[in-house]
Structure 1
Amino acid sequence: MKRKLVLEDGTVFIGEAIGSEKAVIGEAVFNTGMTGYQEIISDPSYCGQIVTLTYPLVGNYGVNLDDFETINPSIGGLVVKESCDYPSNFRSVESLDNYLKNKDIPGIQGIDTRKLTRIIRQQGTMKAMIASIETTTEELLKKMKMTPIPQDQVSQVSTIKPYVVPGRGARIVLIDFGMKHGILREFTKRSCHVTVVPYNTTAEEILQLKPDGVMLSNGPGDPKDVPEAIEAIRELISVVPIFGICLGHQLIALASGGDTLKMSFGHRGSNHPVKDLETDRVWMTSQNHGYAVSEESLTNTDLVVSQYALNDGSVEGLKHEFHPVFSVQYHPESAPGPQDSNSLFDRFLTMIDAHKRGEYTCQNVLTSTKF
């Protein structure tokens, strides 16, 4: 069955339908990873977005039961060059097309994904629509113009009620802005007692749980759309150790008086090099974000840039000068992606131990809590 993808600038791609038959409007983005499509599709940070995978063959190892980052994916739609109908892998339980159908996610294959990616790189992310070929382009453009990009993505993907993943180690409160399960896996591997709470949980409610540390998860959209989280983090910074990932990294900057900006086409892939200024090491990282921290805005804050992206010089890591607080813009849980930065979870637990002993000071930021 034929289907088309229409960009808000009027560009039209004709291809074949995969997944659900419904029409969808979303922000068109691209991911450069060669593998990891299952983790990408189930990453809540893609809430409502139409994701183009630049690798030409997708679905060749099927869909398994182990690699999901959430149970119910919130991705808007999927665009691929070719979707494999007959996957081959010992863990595979179904094809990509079947999975998309079961989860009511529309997709399109057989289009020039290189051309689409170049358009997004040159013009920036924009609204797009996957729809039936029978609907006129004029109708689709009119509908897109009348449909704003939603600003409530975090509330859509955050947990509704708190829940506990028990352990005998450090007590971690994990604020869920659209958490990937990989973050939970890293804490449970380290025997942590994790309490996952909704995005709008207040600082007072968090402190009542007596946390040893607070984890700020990844999540979709503009960090300025969650002001209640910014206020809670502002109150927590001087009280308890904090580790922020992706959206959590941006929220720490906003809570400290910094600012964030929308990137032209963002960072989405599993091959982004990041340089750590303390160790002079370069890590390959997995990333998925359309907003970044403005370095200029950090001048009058207590935050220091600890890492940079080598591709474009954007801020990839922050640390607080006086409190045990740090953050990274990428995904150290590496789902999907390289495991270079996985030790950041150990660094967080080291910070927590130093804070509990009363030995954490701004002087030992570079020693006992080094990357």
Structure 2
Amino acid sequence: MFLIIDNYDSFVHNLARYFENAGQKTRIIRNDKITIDEIRALKPKALILSPGPRAPKDAGICVDAIKALCTEMPILGICLGHQAIGEAFGAETSRAGTPIHGKASEIKHNQKTIFKNLPTPMLVGRYHSLILEPAKDSPLNITARTTDDNEIMAVQHKNLPVYGLQFHPESILTSHGENLIENFIKLTANWHKNKNKNKLKSQPKAKAKAKDSKKEKVA
């Protein structure tokens, strides 16, 4: 199940439908109706932070959830969710030169991870008045920018499975929006697969330590 934190966005169900079209179950819970422990108890495959109005500080549990759960599950932030990722990792959020609502812009991206096998440049739908600006020493890599004014359109954490998209993949204005979501689903599956492999590798060591401990007691 993919858990979507709803930042009071009117199109959150369109986002959920993209996951469901890819064969995934979703659950939508508003940003002020759940706690970190409740998220953990649900055991979602990944956490999705939806678009929404206002600023990251107004996004309910989002920033705290990113900080608490970024090592426990993949996270995808969209628009306000993307800005919340920036807030969680020390980036600045500022007013865009021109607020953009319902505009298709061309972006160039790195063609990796969430953008794998997607054309660059490509068109994306934008609905935002804030932009993200990571600091020079930020743990966030910039993975996409607009071609006209070089504004940041996507970020990815250098070491953690955390991805941010300033634009809306669920918008009709975004080409390959469903492919972006499918890529995130694949990234999530691979992350869990590697996590389980690492668990299996560590088990023999733990058993060996337990045996050695028993031998010492007998001696």
TM-score, with structure 2 as normaliser: 0.79
Instruction: Give distance in 2, aligned partners of 1:293 and 1:338.
Output: 20
The reply on whether 1:238 has 2:71 as its aligned counterpart is yes
Instruction: Give distance in 2, aligned partners of 1:244 and 1:333.
Output: 13
Alignment of 1:1-371 (within 5 A): 171-179=1-9, 180=11, 181-200=13-32, 201-226=34-59, 228-278=61-111, 281-295=120-134, 297=135, 299-334=136-171, 336-358=172-194
SS in structure 2 of the partner of residue 218 of structure 1: coil
Instruction: Give distance in 1, aligned partners of 2:111 and 2:22.
Output: 25
Instruction: Give distance in 2, aligned partners of 1:226 and 1:182.
Output: 19
Instruction: Give distance in 1, aligned partners of 2:178 and 2:22.
Output: 12
Instruction: Give distance in 1, aligned partners of 2:78 and 2:17.
Output: 15
Instruction: Give distance in 1, aligned partners of 2:93 and 2:60.
Output: 13
CA shift, 1:269, in A, is 2.6
With over 3 angstroms needed to count, the CA separation of the structure-2 counterparts of 1:231 and 1:338, relative to structure 1, is closer
SS in structure 2 of the partner of residue 250 of structure 1: helix
Amino acid at match of 1:251: A
Instruction: Give distance in 2, aligned partners of 1:198 and 1:271.
Output: 28
Answer yes or no: is the 8 Å Cα contact 2:19–2:182 preserved in 1: no
SS in structure 2 of the partner of residue 287 of structure 1: strand
SS in structure 2 of the partner of residue 330 of structure 1: coil
What residue number does 1:122 align with? none
- Higher share of residues assigned helix: 2
Answer yes or no: is the 8 Å Cα contact 1:333–1:339 preserved in 2: no
CA shift, 1:268, in A, is 2.1
Instruction: Give distance in 2, aligned partners of 1:207 and 1:217.
Output: 18
Q: List structure 1 runs of 4+ shifted beyond 4 angstroms.
A: none
CA shift, 1:359, in A, is 6.2
Instruction: Give distance in 1, aligned partners of 2:156 and 2:170.
Output: 19
Please say which of residues 275-284 and 203-212 is displaced more in the overlay. Answer: 275-284
Answer yes or no: is the 8 Å Cα contact 1:216–1:244 preserved in 2: yes
Amino acid at match of 1:225: D
Q: What is the alpha-carbon root mean square deviation over aligned residues?
A: 1.9
Answer yes or no: is the 8 Å Cα contact 2:168–2:174 preserved in 1: no
SS in structure 2 of the partner of residue 300 of structure 1: coil
Instruction: Give distance in 2, aligned partners of 1:270 and 1:264.
Output: 15
With over 3 angstroms needed to count, the CA separation of the structure-2 counterparts of 1:262 and 1:240, relative to structure 1, is same
Amino acid at match of 2:125: S
Instruction: Give distance in 2, aligned partners of 1:190 and 1:340.
Output: 13
SS in structure 1 of the partner of residue 19 of structure 2: helix
With over 3 angstroms needed to count, the CA separation of the structure-2 counterparts of 1:189 and 1:228, relative to structure 1, is closer
User: Residue deviations 1:202-227, cap 9 Å, x none?
Assistant: 22211110111111100011222236
Higher relative contact order (CA 8 A, sep 6+): 2
User: Residue deviations 1:112-155, cap 9 Å, x none?
Assistant: xxxxxxxxxxxxxxxxxxxxxxxxxxxxxxxxxxxxxxxxxxxx
Identity percentage of aligned residues: 26
Amino acid at match of 1:226: A
SS in structure 1 of the partner of residue 107 of structure 2: strand
Answer yes or no: is the 8 Å Cα contact 1:220–1:247 preserved in 2: yes
SS in structure 1 of the partner of residue 177 of structure 2: coil
SS in structure 2 of the partner of residue 342 of structure 1: helix
Matched positions, count = 187
Instruction: Give distance in 2, aligned partners of 1:355 and 1:229.
Output: 21
Compare CA radii of gyration and give the structure with the larger one. Answer: 1
Contiguous gaps of at least 5 residues in structure 1? 1-170, 361-371
Amino acid at match of 1:184: A
With over 3 angstroms needed to count, the CA separation of the structure-2 counterparts of 1:265 and 1:293, relative to structure 1, is same
SS in structure 2 of the partner of residue 343 of structure 1: helix
Amino acid at match of 2:77: G
